[in-house]
A = this chain, B = another copy of it.
Amino acid sequence: MTDAWTHFEDWTGTLSDIGGAGALLGWDRETGMPPAGSETRARQLGTLAAIHHRELTRPDIDGALAELEADTSLTAERARQVEVMVRARRRAQRMPESLVRELSEATSRCVGVWIEMRGAGDYAAFAEPFRRVVELKRVHARTVADGVEPYDALLDDYEPGARAAELEPVFADLRERLTPLVELGAARPRPGLPQRHWPAESQVALARDLAELVGYDMSAGAVALSAHPFTSSPGYGDVRFTTRVDEANPVGSIMAVLHETGHALYEQGFPAAYARTPLLDAPSMGAHESQSRFWENHVGRTRPFWERIGPLLHGRFPEAMRGLDAADLQREATAVEPSLIRVEADEVTYNLHIALRFELELALIRGDLEVEDLPTEWNARMRDFLGIVPPHDGVGVMQDIHWPEGLFGYFPTYTLGNLYAAQLAEAADTHVDGLDRAIADGRFAEILAFMRERVHVWANLRPTRDVMVEATGGPLSADALVAHLRGVAAG
């Protein structure tokens, strides 16, 4: 017994170390690596992925796993680790090596063509390698699937236990309730910001100010610049995030900082005892996104938050802020306007962008939609949901890297995160005696303590659903999000 556990612990510790090394290589690629290093870096990441796969599927762990699975005396922590690893291992074993290799080649090729063709929106050129990716993902889904819905097998990689059958009514409901809010929000006047210069170094300094203001621990993290903001944890005690800057407008950067800080606070809240174990993780992407969206949208876009950080803004940008107050920037942060690009979308339209993608990728994997018909379907939904149509596919169906990379089943987790975030914000509102008041008072430690004890402390010990039902007091529902977005749209 002890032997089986020791064997198991060595195995998962090794896997964690390999994963952490890969995370650092990825972080460095976006933040520090010189351009000439990219080819070798790609090979290194491929080698680490292969070593990770070989270690995950090594046969000599079978005995220990069988013994531990049968052992009813394990603690909850240990039992969950065994469950998580048995599932990960089974999924890895089900994927034939030939399919892994074919998928890797097909997506590499497709991403290459995507990078080249996206600017011009040349869908015909893109469709050829993309058809192969979709074909292989259909095979992948059928190969790994447990039940009747192959898409669920893909979804399961990002949101364990989620089912398309449960998501479809949620998205249909959201779509119906959000469409009218778009018009309401877009009708609000949007004065915009005067032309000013917001120096990059001051934006990076502000990023640190804001992260520390809400509770980020800089002695266990780092902040850097990258083209696309992201959060990464190469190991316990080391949770980093990046931001981007636009010297003509600081609002996007500030929202990105709050978003990434939300991800980072989550991982900084994982228990130290879970270091180098499968428990040092979020139970799903939706859970992770609930944290980024909570701090971004339910804290960071509020009027009291901007009033609170007013002195910081004036301190960091004495020139650019001259004659402006925090409310001017907050208005920018909550403006609603139908737009073509998901990553630039406001809170209200954002989930319609996701609904569109969910419907289309589900149909693609089911075989109800073919690659050649995708742009037509995309554009029709853009007209229906948002009232605008992309002038070309580069700012339409070709805008995201997810599909060329084969990441089907990922998009819905963004909206799941938004749904959970809104439900958590309602629960927090009660808990801290008014969320807006707590923000106005600067009681960020209280807000963070709520998240720590309701969400962070569980890390991957329990499935997302269980954590969220207990934390929010109810099952997944669109009501909280719709109520919140109604407020945003009304201004």
Within 8 A of B (CB), among A204-233: 217-222
Determine if A37 and B234 form an interchain contact, defined as CB atoms under 8 angstroms apart: yes
Determine if B21 and A237 form an interchain contact, defined as CB atoms under 8 angstroms apart: no
- In angstroms, how far is the closest chain B Cβ from the Cβ of A200? 15
Q: How far is the CA of A40 from the CA of B233 in the complex (A)?
A: 11
Report which of B44, B238, B276 forms a contact with A34, defined as CB distance below 8 A.
B238
Determine if A238 and B47 form an interchain contact, defined as CB atoms under 8 angstroms apart: no
Determine if A34 and B235 form an interchain contact, defined as CB atoms under 8 angstroms apart: no
Contacts A37-B238, A40-B238, A235-B37 given; does A222 touch B17 at CB 8 Å:
no
Per-residue contact bits, chain A 22-40, to B (CB 8 Å; 1 contact, 0 not): 0011001000111111111
Contacts A33-B238, A34-B237, A36-B238 given; does A47 touch B18 at CB 8 Å:
yes
CB closest residue in chain B, given A44: B17
Within 8 A of B (CB), among A133-172: none
CB closest residue in chain B, given A14: B47
Cβ-based interface call for A66 (8 A): no
Residues of B contacting A18 in the complex (Cβ-Cβ under 8 angstroms): 47, 51
Per-residue contact bits, chain A 1-30, to B (CB 8 Å; 1 contact, 0 not): 000000000000110011011001100100
Determine if B28 and A24 form an interchain contact, defined as CB atoms under 8 angstroms apart: yes
Contacts A24-B24, A25-B21, A51-B51 given; does A44 touch B235 at CB 8 Å:
yes
Q: How far is the CA of A99 from the CA of B115 in the complex (A)?
A: 51
Contacts A39-B236, A51-B51, A237-B39 given; does A20 touch B44 at CB 8 Å:
yes
Cβ-based interface call for A41 (8 A): yes
Cβ-based interface call for A275 (8 A): yes
CB closest residue in chain B, given A51: B51
- In angstroms, how far is the closest chain B Cβ from the Cβ of A449? 20
Residues of B contacting A32 in the complex (Cβ-Cβ under 8 angstroms): 32, 222
Contacts A24-B25, A34-B221 given; does A47 touch B237 at CB 8 Å:
no
Residues of B contacting A222 in the complex (Cβ-Cβ under 8 angstroms): 32-34
Cβ-based interface call for A43 (8 A): yes
Determine if B218 and A17 form an interchain contact, defined as CB atoms under 8 angstroms apart: no
Determine if B275 and A40 form an interchain contact, defined as CB atoms under 8 angstroms apart: yes
Residues of B contacting A327 in the complex (Cβ-Cβ under 8 angstroms): none
CB closest residue in chain B, given A233: B37
Q: How far is the CA of A14 from the CA of B47 in the complex (A)?
A: 6
Per-residue contact bits, chain A 70-94, to B (CB 8 Å; 1 contact, 0 not): 0000000000000000000000000
Contacts A34-B219, A221-B34 given; does A236 touch B21 at CB 8 Å:
no
Cβ-based interface call for A480 (8 A): no
Q: How far is the CA of A46 from the CA of B17 in the complex (A)?
A: 9
Cβ-based interface call for A471 (8 A): no
Contacts A25-B24, A34-B237, A47-B14 given; does A276 touch B220 at CB 8 Å:
no
Determine if B220 and A37 form an interchain contact, defined as CB atoms under 8 angstroms apart: yes
- In angstroms, how far is the closest chain B Cβ from the Cβ of A62? 20
Report which of B21, B28, B39 forms a contact with A44, defined as CB distance below 8 A.
B21
8 residue pairs bridging A and B, Cβ less than 8 Å apart: A17-B47, A21-B25, A34-B240, A37-B220, A40-B235, A41-B234, A41-B235, A44-B235
Given contacts A21-B21, A41-B235, 5 further A-B contacts (CB under 8 A): A13-B47, A17-B44, A24-B28, A34-B238, A39-B236
